[in-house]
Amino acid sequence: MSALRRKLGDEYQVVSTSASGGGLPPPRAAPRGKRQRFVDKNGRCNVQHGNLGGETSRYLSDLFTTLVDLKWRWNLFIFILTYTVAWLFMASMWWVIAYMRGDLNKAHDDSYTPCVANVYNFPSAFLFFIETEATIGYGYRYITDKCPEGIILFLFQSILGSIVDAFLIGCMFIKMSQPKKRAETLMFSEHAAISMRDGKLTLMFRVGNLRNSHMVSAQIRCKLLKSRQTPEGEFLPLDQLELDVGFSTGADQLFLVSPLTICHVIDAKSPFYDLSQRSMQTEQFEIVVILEGIVETTESEDGYDLRG
């Protein structure tokens, strides 16, 4: 009986077995050049959108999600830049009030009541803003009751600071809590194999969890990405077909405490049913494995996808 052993997406190896175990393997197919994958092993999709009108405005309209999806270096740059610009702007507003009231020229006049005590240049205005924003309260610089515009600016500063904090800190928190690195401890087998199991020709691969923390409600799905042409002549470059890995029997619901073998039976309903050994060697397709679950340690109700 022949069996196929194929690495998901790129190369494969054909071996032959028999009931007596004495069969010789057929010659290896010539290795194909490495091609671009639709989905990398780390789950990153190699898709770039083009010829979309107003693409930039669409991303800006959902600014929060756009910031979360950015790389860490850009997140940190925007985080630092936003706070720096906001701090310099508010410090400039306090300096402008002191300049327009003439407080800068009367900083050391004990008989004069300024808008903000002990603010006599831009650095002192900046320090007053930081003390107020961070609620440090050293007590040396403070707003007096002779400055209604300062009170209004103080209220505006409090509201603006709360908005900036909620937006940026919320963005950083969500980005840090994303389970992308969780995939590093979820292992998929390096190769998928086609062999007989329980009297049926079956595509098999293994998946395992290295951590002691369990995945709650773990479910696995498989997608076959393959180009095809419809009877009407329409070419579908990335047609997605579902591979049954036990949906009807509940075998797709995993209790992932030890490595498990995931099976897809190649029957009349399988997209591999009409493929011969030779056609599988030349066919261009990709299998995407999607593992969904809830991380037990986070006690979160949000699932996540891990693609391999």
Q: Which of 207, 222, 208, 229 is nearest to 266 (CA)?
A: 222
Residue 149 or residue 58, greater confidence? 149
Band the pLDDT of 180: cuts 50, 70, 90: low
Rounded to an integer, the average pLDDT of 155-165 is 91
Residue 102, Ramachandran bin (φ over 0: left; ψ between -120 and 50: alpha; else beta): left
Say if CB 203 and CB 266 are below 8 A apart.
yes
Q: Is the pLDDT of residue 17 over 50?
A: no
Looking at this protein, which amino acid is placed at residue 249? Answer: T
Look at residue 81 in the predicted model and tell me its pLDDT.
Answer: 94
Name the token pair of 122: 């831009």
Say if CB 265 and CB 272 are below 8 A apart.
no
Name the token pair of 136: 């440090």
Question: Which percentage of the chain shows pLDDT scores above 90?
Answer: 14
Report d(CA 122, CA 91) in Å as an integer. Answer: 7
Report d(CA 274, CA 50) in Å as an integer. Answer: 35
Look at residue 46 in the predicted model and tell me its pLDDT.
Answer: 72
Q: Which residues of 100-128 are buried (b: 16+ CB within 10 A; e: fewer)?
A: ebebbeeeeeeeeebbbbebbebebbbbb
Residue 291, Ramachandran bin (φ over 0: left; ψ between -120 and 50: alpha; else beta): beta
- Strands 285-295 and 192-197, by their bridges, are unpaired
Collapsed DSSP state (helix, strand, coil) of residue 292: strand
Rounded to an integer, the average pLDDT of 10-36 is 46
Look at residue 308 in the predicted model and tell me its pLDDT.
Answer: 39
Find where tokens 């999600």 sit.
65
Q: Which of 241, 292, 293, 236 is nearest to 264 (CA)?
A: 241
Rounded to an integer, the average pLDDT of 90-101 is 90
Look at residue 13 in the predicted model and tell me its pLDDT.
Answer: 41
Tell me the pLDDT tens digit for each residue of 196-241.
998 989 999 999 888 777 777 888 988 888 888 888 888 888 888 8
Report d(CA 96, CA 150) in Å as an integer. Answer: 11
Q: Which of 61, 73, 56, 119 is nearest to 92 (CA)?
A: 119
Rounded to an integer, the average pLDDT of 141-154 is 86
Look at residue 24 in the predicted model and tell me its pLDDT.
Answer: 39
Look at residue 247 in the predicted model and tell me its pLDDT.
Answer: 85
